[in-house]
Chains A and B, each alone.
Chain A
Amino acid sequence: MAEQATAPAHQFDTPIQQYEASTLGMWVFLLTEIMFFGGMFLGYTVYRLAYPEAFAEGSHHLDVVLGGINTAVLIGSSLTMALAVHAAQVGERRQLIRCLTGTLGLGLVFLGIKALEYVHKFAAHLVPGSHFVYEGPQAPQVQLFLSFYFGMTGMHALHMLIGIGLLSVLIRLAWRGRFSPAYHTPVEIIGLYWHFVDVVWIFLFPLLYLLGRH
């Protein structure tokens, strides 16, 4: 088993070459993700420039405290993910499983808080669509802001869900002892994905929650 995992696939000369090919492939995938989220950030910016007052008004309906806590939770999950990669590199299996489980747990906390925020929006009739109720001359533009809010945070949350699925597979593999200092590429690659999702939130939080706050 260990022999199989250590030997590179036959198209590679060395394990390090295989490792570099895998991380590079992951980065190419992440570039497509940058463009995917980039399109949404661009659309948001264009409409923010068109309706600055309505977007500032809209951001006042978001909960800065919950958003801030979620930012801290996600940064914490990135730390545990980085520590998981470290544990895999030095071959500490128990520590690896602990760190991966911690990352998964913090990811679930993030989604729980996000769900709570969504529930508040549903209760306040702030979800765009036929049940949207809003007083004021800027109602259509505020609804546009909230559409961006739900679209962007929703896509981000979908990525978190996928990340949580990937983490549970990693924990299973780590439990079975599949990773060693010589072979732990999946931990590194899923770590890259997890940190990328964190970076997206690092931009979403100030743009959606903070601008127009003063």
Chain B
Amino acid sequence: MRPARFDYARPDSVAQALDLLATHEDARVLAGGQSLMPLLNLRLAQPSLLVDINGLADLNYISADETGLRVGALVRHAELLANAAVKTDFPLLAAALGHVAHDGIRNRGTVCGSLAFADPSAELPACAVALGAELVLASARGQRAVPAAAFFQGIYETAIEPDEMVLEVRFPRVPAGWHFAFQEIARRRGDFAMAGVIAGWQLQRGQVAEARVVTFALGPTATRVPGAESALAGATPGNEAAAEAACAALDNVEIMESGEYPVAYKRHLAAVLLRRALRRLAEGTE
């Protein structure tokens, strides 16, 4: 299939890009295009204008300091995956990025693009929720920062207004003592996940002080599972009863009908992945 007719602009500056978004009703931002172009080719999306931001070199930065990591809109998955600071300070991101599609797609697709697209089975939105990231949105009207929990609103639905674009994503420094485990399951390497779980905790005196459990590829968005998190709080790593209680809390997670995989199967997978993640955390690996 070929896209329906669209106009194309390649702005030289962020200001110009924002101006285009403000003045065109049905515009979409083109960065890596790895999700957007198939949509256009299938005619599932028919924007009147594509705003190609690939010329905005200013948006291609990864900056790490004591406050955390800031990733600009043009950073490709492959670049973030290869970044030394990410490997040492954000191993969860490194683990997740390896599951994003295939090498070729990672070379072009962007981190912020994946967040803006908000596919329910995507890895990066789940990381953003797990790490308490915030997205900086810009428009001709100004900028605002939206925390991940409020950013992801539904299937391909985010807080982005029609005249806004994502400028960067900020991952706050991971406080000392936090460890995360990433688990995803797919039929073939690189496929959309059938189910995904991120589990993390911070230990104090050998017990879980605080836990974080995020599921993805189940409901309309990546979501924290407060019941699982409270089930783990105060437990010692490896405690079976706490793990089972956390898994039981998954029963409350919304799971969409998918056709090929029954809801009951996906719920079962989520529990399997959570158990595996907790085992990994207990073993001290991630």
Chain B binds chain A: no
